[in-house]
Structure 1
Amino acid sequence: MLMNHLKLGKFSRLETALLCLRPEENDLDKVYEILCSVSKVRVLKLDKATVKAPFSKGSMPAPIYDIHSLSMDIRRFTDDLVPAMASLFRGLPNLHILCIQSKSPRDDPQSDTSGCDMEYWKLQNLAFINQLVVVSIELCNGSNGIDLARYILECAPNLLHMFIIYPTLVSEMVTRKLKESKIVSGAKVVYHENKGSSSGIFQKLILS
């Protein structure tokens, strides 16, 4: 449970922030207050619970409007989480670097991860799509993450590098949807099939 009165103020000179919160239902306003305090941090890292808490119903605009680099560990691209991600993205017009990590569960891997297609992302009118330069995205089973990756490939005109990590179970869908996408930029796209642990894969791809 978060404190009743935070009064954090503004961290105007903060370079990097990592938020891994476990809010209860009555703590949602406090999560929003914390995000307001780091609204101008250059590099922000969020876990799934922090992303989902204030934005899951799409009723609260993202207060972190001046983020340069965003990293998210979301576990899965579930249908109830994607709208929260979209709500967050709508408030990030200056985002240049995006890193999304996920993990496919062994049990019921296809459950509720295929309800938000390419058209869904196009309807969000995300301003940050024109600013993206580098993207790393780790896909899980299901099509939600794949359609987000496809949206970025086909709609981000200034993209320079994109790293796509995918599990074996969706390799056919990756080939069909992503490798055949009409890339709007001249970005270098690296595909990596993850057959085991994903630890360190992002760092290795970025340094390659």
Structure 2
Amino acid sequence: MNSGFLILRGGNKVQKFQVHLDLCSSLPDEIFRVITWIHIAARCNVEVLDLQLSVLKNDMASFELPSCIFLCGSLRSLIVNLYTVLKVPSFAGSTNLQHLKLTEVQIDDRFFKWISSSCKCIKELQLYDVRTVNITIENSSLESFRFVSYKSGICHLNISGEKLEDIHVDWEYYQPGSRSLTISAPNLKYFKWIGNLLNRQNLRELMCLEKAEIYLKPSRDICDFDNASEFLCSICRVKVLLLTHETMKALFKEVSMPLPFDNVSYLGLRITSLSDDLVPAMARGCNRKYWKSQKLNFTDQLKEVTIELSNGFNAMELARYILEQAQHLEKVFIFYLPHQSYVIKRVNQSKKVSAAKIVFRKKQRR
């Protein structure tokens, strides 16, 4: 692109300006050209600025966005994807920015203080593999927060906001060390967490939580999800709960402490099979006697259940238990393997306490 094209626009408004560029040998000249474009776009009252620049990591130590971007009153959305240092000028004031997405950039505490104090209109913040040590954000306008980290050395993540309704955390790490997650979002409705359990997680006042997806994986320096129960108790008021195989094993590890999920109306289990490693080591299979002993209070609020059977009888027994306990159940979907046609008769023999409709569907082996 030639800078003259933008200059000829004069002060005419630019709604969206994108720069997707592979920077190569003449790096200083190309950086200067990109900065010139950004200056012109700011003068043209740009609303969306999308910078996705690819460059060898060793060739670029710092690429500071021009200060005009942080002072551009028309800018509503900023996207930066670049392995570089991103700094906020010391004189940057309030901004009308509503959407901010950063990928692979290196930022410091001053940047997060700018988000907390100067971004009074921001609604959505997305951080992908940003390079920093700690993240602390307190913002009263933020509604959605997404954090993805696979290779950065972030230790502590603290996010706070009265209007936060949606938080997505995808956090995996491979180096030992102390890590923590603190969330203060009294109006949070949707929470999704993928990755490793941390040394410490503190979720405060999640009284409005409607849906939670917890897909945790074991980590090297935290053994066997020792603090999983404490974390799950903090989201006990959730209505829709989705868990994985590993998280389920953590739940059943401490059977002496029942989890108070009384508000759950939909429970989804993403597991390979409902085998005995999901129950206490002393249990001899998950028959209906076992399920009754667990006193799963949430069954009274179930209205629809979907169960996919694998080899063995444990999942079938769980289905029969639910039919005999869930008073408000309306529909049950049971997916069974071709050799499990006997399930239809066994389940239909259950003493249902509701008028629930049972739908059987045969699934093919993969």
In the superposition, the TM-score normalised over structure 1's length comes to 0.68
The whole-number CA distance in structure 2 between the counterparts of 1:156 and 1:132 is 6
The whole-number CA distance in structure 2 between the counterparts of 1:135 and 1:83 is 24
Residues 40-189 of structure 1 aligned to structure 2 (within 5 Å): 40-83=237-280, 115-172=285-342, 174-189=343-358
Name 1:19's counterpart in structure 2: 214
Alignment-mate amino acid for residue 73 of structure 1: R
CA positional deviation for 1:186:
1.4
Name 1:104's counterpart in structure 2: none
CA positional deviation for 1:127:
2.9
CA positional deviation for 1:57:
3.8
Work out the number of aligned pairs and report it: 168
Q: Is the 8 A contact 2:202 2:231 kept in 1?
A: no
The secondary structure found in structure 2 opposite 1:80 is: helix
The whole-number CA distance in structure 2 between the counterparts of 1:184 and 1:65 is 19
The whole-number CA distance in structure 1 between the counterparts of 2:307 and 2:251 is 23
The whole-number CA distance in structure 2 between the counterparts of 1:123 and 1:4 is 31
Question: CA, structure 1 residues 55+159, in 2 after alignment: closer, same or farther (shift >3 Å)?
Answer: same
Q: Which has the higher contact order (CA 8 A, sep 6+)?
A: 1
Question: CA, structure 1 residues 4+158, in 2 after alignment: closer, same or farther (shift >3 Å)?
Answer: closer
Question: CA, structure 1 residues 6+147, in 2 after alignment: closer, same or farther (shift >3 Å)?
Answer: closer
Q: Is the 8 A contact 2:263 2:301 kept in 1?
A: no
Question: CA, structure 1 residues 187+75, in 2 after alignment: closer, same or farther (shift >3 Å)?
Answer: same
Q: Is the 8 A contact 1:138 1:165 kept in 2?
A: yes
Q: Is the 8 A contact 2:263 2:298 kept in 1?
A: no
The whole-number CA distance in structure 1 between the counterparts of 2:263 and 2:326 is 19
Alignment-mate amino acid for residue 185 of structure 1: S
CA RMSD of aligned residues (A): 2.7
Q: Is the 8 A contact 1:165 1:191 kept in 2?
A: yes
CA positional deviation for 1:77:
1.1
Q: Is the 8 A contact 1:15 1:41 kept in 2?
A: yes
Name 1:193's counterpart in structure 2: 362
Alignment-mate amino acid for residue 21 of structure 1: L
The whole-number CA distance in structure 2 between the counterparts of 1:169 and 1:45 is 28
The whole-number CA distance in structure 2 between the counterparts of 1:157 and 1:65 is 14
In the superposition, the TM-score normalised over structure 2's length comes to 0.41
Q: Any stretches of 5+ residues in structure 1 without a counterpart?
A: 87-113, 198-208
Question: CA, structure 1 residues 115+66, in 2 after alignment: closer, same or farther (shift >3 Å)?
Answer: same
Alignment-mate amino acid for residue 190 of structure 1: V
Question: CA, structure 1 residues 177+19, in 2 after alignment: closer, same or farther (shift >3 Å)?
Answer: same
Q: Any stretches of 5+ residues in structure 2 without a counterpart?
A: 1-195
In the TM superposition, what whole-angstrom CA distance separates every residue of 1:45-64 from its partner, at most 9, and x where no partner exists?
Answer: 11111121143241333154
1:38 paired to 2:235: yes
Name 1:8's counterpart in structure 2: 203
Question: CA, structure 1 residues 126+195, in 2 after alignment: closer, same or farther (shift >3 Å)?
Answer: same
